[in-house]
Amino acid sequence: MCSVLFGIASCSFLSKADANPERNKLLIDLISFVLDREHFDARKINDEFSKEVYHSFIEALDPQKRYFYQSDIDDLSVYINDIDNQINDKELTFFDLAYSILKVRIDEAQNLYKELLDEPFDFNEEDTINVDYDNLEYASTKQELSERWMKRLKFSTLSTYYDKIEEQKIALENNPETEEKPLEELEAEAREITESSINEYFDFTNDLEAKDWFSVYVNSIVVAFDPHTYYFAPKDKDRFDISMSGKLEGIGARLSKKNDNIKIVEVISGGPAWRGEEVEVGDIILKVRQQDEKEAVSIVGMRLDDAVSLIKGPKGTKVILTLRRVSGAIEDIVITRDVVELEETYAKSSLVKKDKHLYGLINLPKFYFNTQDYNQRNAASDVEKEIEYLKEKNIEGLVIDLRNNGGGSLQTVVDIAGLFIKKGPVVQVKRRNGSTQVLNDEDPSLLWDGPLVIMVNELSASASEILAAAMQDYKRAIVIGSKQTYGKGTVQNIIDLNRLYRNSSIGDLGAIKITTQKFYRVNGGSTQLEGVKSDIIVPDQYSYIDIGEKDQDNPLPYDKIAPADYSQWTITNYQEIINRSRLRMKKNSQLQLIDENAKWISERRNTNQFSINFNNYKDKIDHNEEKVTYFEKIKDYRSDISFKSLPYEMALIENDTVLGTKRDRWHENLTTDVYIEEAVNVLQDIELETAKSRR
């Protein structure tokens, strides 16, 4: 087969791709089994499926078509209808071949870009670059691929070259005695920056191992079922758990890798590193030693994930870090690991004052929960506490901000909805066998029965859509935001693959997040594809960009089921309140400007052809800067609303200046947020109409 596919010189492509092929075969077998048994709408693994996996994997390996030649694709396409058979037979031939070719092409690309950046670029030439990679053909020859790389490197360098010329111009204007560098020197500096950036990219790429690329292959298989079914390699599962719970056990610092060095880029407020005040941003970690080990391990040049694994550890254990300080000094420090809470994950609230009226705002970034124990800190319990605190200040209305909230725990949605309604259905869930279950709020008590507004946008998804839909169906709240939310109406469960196969010699197999159910509104409709239509539609930066579920590959279809039995709330003069808001927004110049900006953003995103001639580039930049300056007025907007932390948080801020800075920044952003302003206006209208009805 080697000589038939590639010729004798290419036989090296067929080298073994992984030191543990048995693990990969087992992984494919387990995932196929789980998908067939558990997925809500399991697909047949046939030739059509094979084609989808083939195209998905090739695109994932080389999305910008800067590695593979057309001849590579021709050779790999032999397997386009055979991947289904390889999955069933636990064969890895296609993956092994694709990965082996990719490794060779990446090595070639690293030599190529260094050669291309050795020579100056001529920015006086009339030339363009096409970035429409989906419709770009693969290169047929080395010369063609070299030309493609050259244009990309030149375009990247042009951007930096332009910036350097502008910076020098400003420096000369401010100080005429500044030494003026010749353009040739500025061009050389720009190329050096491009090379440094590409070096960092390849440092990351070279850190990827065969198992990382195999995870990409596995996910090319599972996403063919639907866009939310996903395989988590062991390290990815850890990240998912952290994102869902907002907690980790470690030292409380964020790290990055650059030029073989592991650097501290953030010290997390409240964590052990922050409490000890012994590390600072910019410190480089040279070695790591565990408390029960005599020898330290050098992490210079180590993969970032592997370094993080050494530094993290159970609460109460100690880790000794050898640091190179920002000052250059080298010293050892001891940190006792602890539970670190990622504050930005959690719900936060603010008192909102408009005129003489006081309202409450709760921002919920995610429906978080502890994946091991729901009774630990979760979104529902936190929202309940925030409402209690806000009620103590006698607020007259409440805004729940779900913008950019991508979802999370289904149970937390039910619990949060129950804070605003008497007992009743919140969401309906349909299983793969067609049976449905109604998830109810069983508690007849109400925590908040006053005016309520739910804020959403195009990135409000899944659990956010359930809460918004329930409040809308009950007529309990007015939903304000984008034309529709994301449109994810499916439920995923996490299955630990290690529970299906217990063999320590194989190693950690990771987990699969798999779509097992669809959820439906209490009125019987689905949010799948359709999302939640806002009662009051406001323009935003995403208004003309395709980012919803309907724009993803292989989404499950929209359908309906029978409505649940529920009783609607009564918002007095509901339609009149909506009409008033629409009239206000129609007259609002800030919203008109935002809508105009959204159209311009969409226009720029759809541009695929760019000039790499300096004068043409400069003209385009000048035009864009005029537009940017024009739209800068959006940031100048200030409402007459003030925002303030609750008393309990003010006490925390006294001992945590980082938290204080974060809240100050948040409150400042809220004063410029026209959507918050309109949400508060709607609260006032609800309050006004309710008061009228009581007279």
What is the CATH classification number for the domain harbouring 401?
Answer: 3.90.226.10
pLDDT digits (tens, 9 = 90+) for 411-467: 999 999 999 999 999 999 999 999 999 999 999 999 999 999 999 999 999 999 999
Neighbours of 423 (CB within 10 A): 13
Domain contains 609 = yes
* Structural domain harbouring 101: 16-225
> Which of 313, 341, 369 is the C-terminal boundary of a domain?
341
Give residue 19's pLDDT: 54
Structure tokens at 87: 């999955």
Number of structural domains the chain divides into: 3
- CATH number of domain containing 337: 2.30.42.10
Q: Are residues 210 and 359 in the same domain?
A: no
Domain contains 237 = no
Structure tokens at 353: 């004052």
Spans of the chain, pLDDT less than 70: 1-19, 504, 695
Domain contains 574 = yes
Amino acid sitting at position 592? Q
Domain contains 675 = yes
Q: Are residues 294 and 378 in the same domain?
A: no
Q: Are residues 217 and 254 in the same domain?
A: no
> Which of 158, 191, 225 is the C-terminal boundary of a domain?
225
Q: Are residues 436 and 467 in the same domain?
A: yes
Contacts of residues 494-499 at CB distance under 8 Å and 24 or more positions apart, as own/partner, are 494/232, 494/237, 494/240, 494/371, 495/34, 495/38, 497/27, 497/30, 497/31, 497/34
Q: Are residues 162 and 258 in the same domain?
A: no
Domain contains 10 = no
Structure tokens at 569: 């709330």
Q: Are residues 304 and 362 in the same domain?
A: no
Look up the pTM and report it.
0.86
Give residue 12's pLDDT: 39
Q: Are residues 99 and 181 in the same domain?
A: yes
Give residue 265's pLDDT: 84
pLDDT digits (tens, 9 = 90+) for 358-411: 999 999 999 999 877 788 889 999 999 999 999 999 999 999 999 999 999 999
> Which of 307, 322, 341 is the C-terminal boundary of a domain?
341
Q: Are residues 322 and 424 in the same domain?
A: no
Domain contains 234 = no
Spell out a b/e string for 362-389, using b for 16 or more CB atoms within 10 Å of the CB, else e: bbbbbbbbbbeeeeebbbbbbbbebbeb
Q: Are residues 198 and 301 in the same domain?
A: no
Give residue 252's pLDDT: 87
Q: What is the DSSP letter of 644?
A: E
What's the Cα-to-Cα distance from 466 to each of 83, 221, 261, 443, rounded to whole Å?
A: 37, 29, 44, 18
pLDDT digits (tens, 9 = 90+) for 500-522: 887 767 788 999 999 999 999 99
Across 345-477, where does the E strand assignment appear? 348-354, 357-363, 398-401, 424-431, 436-441, 452-456
CA angle, 263 as apex, 262 and 265 as ends, to 5°?
Answer: 140
Domain contains 241 = no
Give residue 15's pLDDT: 42
Q: Are residues 330 and 374 in the same domain?
A: no
Q: Are residues 299 and 178 in the same domain?
A: no
Give residue 504's pLDDT: 66
Domain contains 529 = yes
Q: Are residues 469 and 546 in the same domain?
A: yes
